Amino acid sequence: MDVVVFDLETTGLSPERDGIVEIGALRVVDGRIDESQRFETLVRPTTATGETMLIPWHAQRVHGISNDMVSRAPTIAEVLPEFLDFVGASGVVAHNIGFDGGFMRANAARLGLSWRPAAEHCTVQLSRRAFPKERAHNLTVLAERLGLSFAPGGRHRSFGDVQVTAQAYVRLLDLLGQAAVTPAASR
């Protein structure tokens, strides 16, 4: 099974009003993480009309990405076609696919592109199936539960989160069995 595990950092929680500031992704091929197949970029967030959007302080506090860091970064209009090519015909995985997939769908639609991965898998949902008696399923808790750790400074940066999400996905596949993993949505 070939999937792309991805994570976004954003200016806020609304796909319609907020922008993407970072995309990170790794490919998993036949249950193995392929670190050589990675996608990682900062993104200068823009409004629907293409004007630069500032990153609010509360978002900067979460992910540590500042306006200075993205001032010379490519915009989502420049980055998204490349990312869609990277995903290709693969399914995708994210920790809370509704959030990340929602931002991808909204941004693709604004640009006249289509976000239609072969399948969408959610590690939050897989965690709930693997650990039904547990209440918390955020990425930090799931990582601890599976004995995984973030690289220093990696939490809430897209590539650091992607590395742990990919490892969690592979472990959850082992726990649940490949056949038990059904997509959150098929397109």
Domain spans in the chain, listed from the N-terminal domain onward: 2-179
In this prediction, residues 38-44 reach a mean pLDDT of: 98
Give the pLDDT confidence of 2-11 residue by residue, as tens digits. 999 999 999 9
In this structure, are residues 170 and 30 in contact, taking their beta carbons and an 8 Å threshold? no
Domain 2-179 has CATH 3.30.420.10: yes
Separation between Cα atoms, residue 78 and residue 80, nearest integer Å: 6
The mean pLDDT value for 24-34 works out to: 97
- Residues recognised as catalytic: 156
Task: Please tell me whether the overall predicted TM-score, pTM, comes out greater than 0.75 for this model.
Answer: yes
